[in-house]
């Protein structure tokens, strides 16, 4: 079974409990994110900062991939 982005983020943070502590939320909140595969919009940037899992993976509906993210010419979009 393929891991969701939030499951990858939890693993990168050292587990669901560790991610919960870093986010200052309950372990149940992180467990719910992992179970549903859905990250609340207000948590996306913190999770990205803490784990390195990019916002486009966590919430592609809010942060669609852009040419710069895909390896395009960043100077063109600066």
Q: Name the least confident of 10-14, 20-24, 66-70.
A: 66-70
pLDDT on residue 17 = 98
Task: Determine the angle formed by the axes of helices 5-13 and 16-23, rounding to 10 degrees.
Answer: 80
Question: Is the pTM higher than 0.75?
Answer: yes
Q: State the CATH number of the domain containing residue 47.
A: 1.10.260.40
Number of domains in the chain: 1
Mean pLDDT of 5-10: 98
Rounded to whole angstroms, the Cα distance separating 31 from 56 reads 21
> Residue 52's closest CA among 77, 78, 25, 22?
22
Mean pLDDT of 51-68: 91
Residue-range definition of the domain harbouring residue 36 = 5-77
pLDDT on residue 4 = 96
Alpha-carbon distances of 25 from 7, 8, 30, 47, 55, rounded to whole Å: 16, 18, 8, 12, 19
Q: Does position 76 have pLDDT exceeding 70, yes or no?
A: no
SS3 2: coil
- H helices then E strands: how many in the chain? 6, 0
């Amino acid at each position: 079974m393929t891991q969701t982005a939030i499951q990858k983020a939890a693993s990168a943070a050292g587990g669901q409990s560790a991610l919960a502590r870093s986010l200052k939320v309950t372990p149940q909140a992180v467990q719910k994110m992992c179970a549903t595969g859905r990250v609340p919009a207000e948590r996306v940037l913190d999770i990205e900062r803490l784990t390195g899992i990019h916002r486009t993976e966590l919430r592609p509906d809010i942060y669609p991939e852009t040419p710069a993210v895909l390896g395009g010419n960043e100077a063109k979009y600066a």
